[in-house]
């Protein structure tokens, strides 16, 4: 009997701003991998809202080992703030008997070294709502209250069929299960193509949480999911509206300047040895295409609404530049 891929629920679901975890500048550390789409959501939202000085960020090596995400990109192989070699140490500081998965994004309480949450769907909403007093001047509203029902509905469809759909296809072990989820993925991409043919953003006329959640999958699609996860009916570059929309967001401050394609490709192709036994990392696709004109301005819309773009990337958080178009 074929069975669809199921994503394990997050074990630590505390919300900062409630109970024992007050919102406090400098108290917490966001741990991410630039390879991971779920973590990339938090990286984008943190940057767009200007939370860099309030919430520090640790970037893990894109290649895990058997002990979990590791801090080998830092001097001495330890995170300079938390003082740990592996993210799993923060999980066990919170719950010594924990033996489940170690995932990013994760927010860690710096004074105690304990994990607060790995609840990726809620982390960005938490940053947008409870962390509002610490947002930069001119920060946009990524989760406007009048549009939340529509944003939530779009997010539900996108998560089921696209964000999680690529994984369901990639990790399927039965032909029928693979065909079912892959077909549903492309049906949803077709629907999104229609939706974005006449509007610049998914909900309303500004960037919202919905755009962040879709973007992190689209930006990885041709580089990883098309080949590695067998999502090969079409590339995103073959969808006129989706490809232009992806480039529009990529070229918007806070989006493309957080993307590290080297981390993305090396993680998927080197870590998933059950799918890619040789560990060979492909040389494509052509990244300079991300810098080409998108023409989406003709649809109107204001990326940051009544707000302003974020400033330059803070020192130490830069990603490699794309080759010129």
Specify the CATH number of the domain 145-299. 1.20.1050.10
| Residue 33 pLDDT | 98
pLDDT at 7 over 70: no
| Residue 5 pLDDT | 59
- Domains of the chain by residue range: 28-134, 145-299
DSSP annotation of 106: E
Average pLDDT over residues 274-290: 95
The answer to whether the beta carbons of residues 108 and 114 sit under 8 Å apart is: yes
The answer to whether the beta carbons of residues 204 and 147 sit under 8 Å apart is: yes
Active site residue 86: no
Q: Quick one: tokens of 13?
A: 């679901």
Tell me whether residue 315 is exposed, middle or buried, using C-beta atoms within 10 angstroms of its C-beta: 0 to 12, 13 to 18, 19 or more: exposed
Q: Quick one: tokens of 203?
A: 């909900």
User: Which residue is listed with tokens 């008997």?
Assistant: 97
DSSP-derived 3-state class of residue 200? coil
pLDDT at 3 over 70: no
Task: Compute the mean pLDDT over every residue in the chain, rounded to the nearest whole number.
Answer: 96
Active site residue 143: no
| Residue 9 pLDDT | 66
- How sure is the predictor about 250, in pLDDT bands with cuts at 50, 70 and 90? very high
Catalytic pick from 28, 86, 143, 167? 167
pLDDT at 11 over 90: no
Catalytic pick from 28, 36, 201, 268? 36
Average pLDDT over residues 207-218: 98
| Residue 2 pLDDT | 43
Q: Name the CATH topology of 28-134.
A: Glutaredoxin (3.40.30)
DSSP-derived 3-state class of residue 13? strand
**CA 308, CA 206: separation in Å to the nearest integer?**
12
- How sure is the predictor about 58, in pLDDT bands with cuts at 50, 70 and 90? very high
Average pLDDT over residues 229-235: 98
């Amino acid at each position: 009997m074929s069975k669809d891929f199921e994503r394990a629920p997050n074990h630590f679901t505390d919300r900062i701003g409630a109970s024992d975890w007050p919102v406090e500048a400098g108290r917490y550390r966001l741990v991410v991998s630039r390879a991971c789409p779920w973590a990339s959501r938090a990286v984008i939202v943190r940057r767009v809202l200007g939370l860099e000085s309030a919430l520090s960020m640790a970037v893990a090596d894109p290649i895990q080992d058997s002990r979990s995400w590791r801090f080998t990109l830092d001097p001495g192989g330890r995170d300079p703030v938390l003082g740990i070699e592996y993210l799993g140490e923060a999980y066990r500081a919170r719950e010594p008997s924990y033996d489940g998965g170690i995932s990013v994004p994760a927010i860690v309480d710096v004074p105690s070294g304990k994990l607060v949450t790995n609840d990726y769907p809620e982390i960005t909403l938490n940053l947008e709502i409870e962390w509002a007093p610490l947002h930069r001047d001119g920060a946009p509203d990524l989760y406007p209250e009048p549009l939340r029902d529509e944003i939530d509905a779009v997010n539900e469809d996108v998560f089921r069929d696209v964000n999680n759909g690529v994984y369901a296809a990639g990790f399927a072990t039965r032909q029928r299960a693979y065909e079912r989820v892959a077909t549903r993925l492309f049906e949803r991409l077709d629907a999104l193509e229609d939706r974005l043919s006449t509007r610049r953003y998914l909900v309303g006329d500004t960037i919202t949480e919905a755009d962040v959640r879709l973007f992190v999958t689209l930006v990885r699609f041709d580089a990883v999911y098309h080949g590695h996860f067998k999502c090969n009916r079409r590339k995103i570059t073959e969808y006129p509206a989706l490809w232009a929309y992806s480039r529009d967001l990529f070229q918007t401050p806070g989006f493309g300047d957080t993307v590290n394609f080297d981390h993305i490709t090396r993680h998927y192709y080197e870590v998933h040895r059950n799918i890619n036994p040789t560990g060979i990392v492909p040389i494509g696709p052509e990244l300079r295409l991300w810098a080409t004109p998108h023409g989406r301005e003709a649809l109107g819309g204001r990326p940051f609404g009544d707000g302003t773009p974020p400033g330059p990337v803070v020192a130490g958080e830069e990603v490699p530049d794309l080759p010129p178009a």
